[in-house]
Amino acid sequence: MNERSFILGGPRVPRLTAQARAALTQQRRQQIAQAALEVFSARGYGEATVREIARRAGVAEGTVYLYFRSKRDLLVAAWESLAFAGVLGPLRQAEAVPPGSEERVLAAILRDQFQMLLRHGSFFRLVMHRADVDPEFRRRTRARVRQFLAEVTELLQRGVRRGVVARLDFEVVVRALGALIRGLVLFDRYDPKPLFDCYPPEVVAREVARFVLYGLLPRPRRTSRFGGRG
């Protein structure tokens, strides 16, 4: 310790870089969003309070408002933390997998989505209800979904340019696949013989992946390298 540091009250604490501050902010936002997810799932939207979310996150109630302006903002953040997880990352990684791995990659993505929706079905049903009754929440979720669809569409269009994805109207295809995934899980409880009571998620994911990739028509049998039909 030199004379200057003594006069100023001790050693100077290094200031965080902008990158470190951004990382800490993101970490705290995720911490609070996870707490919000747990409280909304347990209490519903009407009964949940910012105070309880703060307590679950281990922060002061005022700290929550440094990151989120309202309970609606907390619901949006909790929804975003789940709704788009496990899709874009694996799709980007899939660009590097060797040909012939498409079924395995898609089945893994679908399996993870099914498992996530099964774990958090009550929360997603809450979100669907809020979108029906809260126009501002509906506007914000729609905007985020449009952004997500654009990102997925760009990844698929890159596949078209590489010759590994068929040229389709991805505005329709991506929405239809998303609706298929959500519908299979969120409305399964109303089925007299629920699908996921009969089959584990990985089996459903494998069959849906085959349906998406190959359709209902039988695939031509491959010719083996020995000249026969494979």
Domain architecture of the chain: domains with CATH: 19-69 (1.10.10.60), 84-214 (1.10.357)
Q: What is the mean pLDDT of the chain?
A: 87
What is the predicted pLDDT for the residue at 223? 44
Q: Which of 39, 29, 44, 46 is nearest to 80 (CA)?
A: 29
Look at residue 4 and tell me whether its pLDDT is greater than 70.
no
Q: What is the mean pLDDT of residues 62-82?
A: 95
What is the predicted pLDDT for the residue at 14? 65
Q: What is the mean pLDDT of residues 209-227?
A: 71
What is the predicted pLDDT for the residue at 98? 80
Q: What is the mean pLDDT of residues 132-152?
A: 94
Q: Give the integer Cα–Cα distance in Å for 46 and 28.
A: 24
Q: What is the mean pLDDT of residues 130-137?
A: 97
Q: Which of 145, 142, 165 is nearest to 155 (CA)?
A: 165
Lowest average pLDDT, out of 6-15, 86-95, 123-132, 136-145, goes to: 6-15
Of all residues in the chain, the percent with pLDDT exceeding 70 is: 89
Q: Give the integer Cα–Cα distance in Å for 94 and 90.
A: 6
Band (pLDDT 50/70/90 cuts) for residue 220 is low
Better-scored residue on pLDDT, 175 or 20: 175
Q: Which of 85, 110, 90, 98 is nearest to 30 (CA)?
A: 85
Reported as a single tens digit per residue, the pLDDT across 90-132 is 888 877 878 788 899 899 999 999 999 999 999 999 999 999 9
